[in-house]
Amino acid sequence: MEKISETDLILNADGSIYHLNLLPEDIADTVITVGDPDRVGEVSKHFDTIELKKGKREFITHTGTLSGKRITVLSTGIGTDNIDIVFNELDALVNIDLKTRMVNSQLRSLNIIRIGTSGAVQADIPVDSLLVSEGAFGLDALMHYYMQDMMDEEKLLLTAFISALPPYGLKPYFAPAGGRLLAKLAHDLPQGITITAPGFYAPQGRQVRAQSLTPGLMESIQQFNYAGKRITNLEMETAGIYGLAASLGHQAVSFNVILANRANHVFSKDPSGVMEKYIGEILQRIVSA
């Protein structure tokens, strides 16, 4: 194995990883990711102890313990471009010797749990509910830059989705949740397939002022059904999280707090309160698993 160059893996003057500003000892085996930097404190306020608070740009990290379990909560910002940074740097912290720039002989697998907001695309999914992504179609380009191993059934599912889309020129990919973590934390919760979009407006079928080149995108998403599987919700990170986690040997699961229903045009009346409720419930699942 060759030494990783200083320009491929950039470190700060104190030896911390470039964007996250973290050292290997700062990271727990259980990592919660949130998009909003302000949500980090909303998670860590439940901890019994907080040993570390660090931040750089939109990447805020708190590490502490809850019921004896060490947990890191980290903000990613919005979108899979940030997921590319966060997941590669998280992996480097636990699987690369930053002094020698060599990959460790023993690799460490993280359990990564996303707690994020999302919009349902099916009329029967209630606002203020919790939905878990069993897998995700990415409409972004991130995983076209990385090697992926796909099961035959996943390839068939992806092919069916591509065939169901009008000729927009989109090149979606598919990535599943980490099976062990999904079974451990979410076996009793509603699950579905998530769409990860590279934007919030036209890429999610919204029409404001700028003219969309993908009319009918929402209808195609809502009507998709393959072997009883349907698309349940839209957001902006899950497919990248699942794809990169699998490529790097980590387990990942995405919890979606449904704040909007796009089919019914309804938005939550208490988004902060609903998020607070589910943060507590998800933390209890994590420490009880």
Q: Is the pLDDT of residue 1 over 90?
A: no
Question: What are the angstrom distances between the C-alpha of 12 and each of 6, 20, 112, 261?
Answer: 11, 10, 25, 43
Does 5 map to a domain?
no
Q: Which tens digits make up the pLDDT trace of 258-283? A: 999 999 999 999 999 999 999 999 99
Mean pLDDT computed over every residue of the chain: 97
CATH of the domain at 90: 3.40.50.1580
Tell me if residue 88 falls in helix, strand or coil. Answer: helix
Does 118 map to a domain?
yes
Compute how many other C-beta atoms are within 10 angstroms of the C-beta atom of residue 203. 19
Beta 111-120 vs 229-235: how paired, if at all?
antiparallel
Question: Among 269, 15, 74, 113, which Cα is nearest to 6's?
Answer: 15
Q: Averaged over 103-119, what is the pLDDT?
A: 97
7: left (phi > 0), else alpha (psi -120 to 50), else beta?
Answer: alpha
Does 109 map to a domain?
yes
Does 14 map to a domain?
no
Does 43 map to a domain?
yes
Predicted TM-score (pTM) of this structure? 0.97
Does 233 map to a domain?
yes
> What is the rounded distance in angstroms from the CA atom of residue 220 to the CA atom of residue 165?
6
Number of domains in the chain: 1
91: Cβ contacts below 8 Å, ≥ 6 apart: 110, 248, 250
